Amino acid sequence: MAGGLLLAGCAPSHDPEVTFFADGEAVRITPSPVCDAKLEECKPTGELAVPGGKSLNINVPKQVAQAPWLVVFRYRAADGSVQKARSALFGDGGTYAYTLRTPTAGDQLMHVEVQRIGGFGADQNNEVIYGVDASWALTVRA
């Protein structure tokens, strides 16, 4: 029995997975290994179809929910322009889910990231800068 406990204690830990689901389909993804220098744009590690105007549900594990986190996304507006937006910052340790809705029914999601915040700072204009320590990036197809 002790040997089994020892083996379980030595098992490698896995990266936390975030679950995205929409329109009856779901995908679970690990953190993106490839991001730009500021972790503002990461290479997607998952893909999911989200029809235009439909919501995207996001569930995060405890490793994410206990830290400050937010959702950043890009979408194509009804007029064809590409827009960027983000959710509010979650940091209460009790928020494990978020439903992302685009501003209007004619908008189409393109790219979504859950970003776990590792620290805060300020830029030259004294505006808050979030230090992202992990990002789960999703490509959205129509």
Kindly state whether residue 4 falls inside one of the protein's structural domains: no
What share of residues in the chain are helix, strand, coil (percent, to 5)?
10, 45, 45
Model confidence pLDDT, tens digit, residues 68-97: 999 999 999 999 999 999 999 998 789 999
CA distances from 38 to 27, 66, 128 (A): 25, 22, 14
Q: How far is C-alpha 36 from the geometric centre of its chain's CA atoms?
A: 15
Measured between alpha carbons, how far is 23 from 7 in angstroms, rounded to an integer? Answer: 40
- Domain holding 107, by residue range, is 13-141
Q: Is residue 72 part of a domain?
A: yes
pLDDT on residue 39: 53
- Residue 1, domain member (yes or no): no
Q: pLDDT, tens digit, for every residue of 3-61?
A: 443 333 443 457 899 999 999 999 999 999 877 765 567 889 999 999 998 999 999 99
Query: How many domains does the structure of the chain reveal?
Result: 1
pTM, whole model, 2 decimals? 0.85
Length of the chain measured in residues: 142
Q: What is the CATH number of the domain that holds 129?
A: 2.60.40
Is 57 part of a structural domain of the chain? yes
Give a yes or no: residue 84 inside a domain: yes
- Up-side HSE of residue 121: CA atoms within 13 Å toward CB? 9
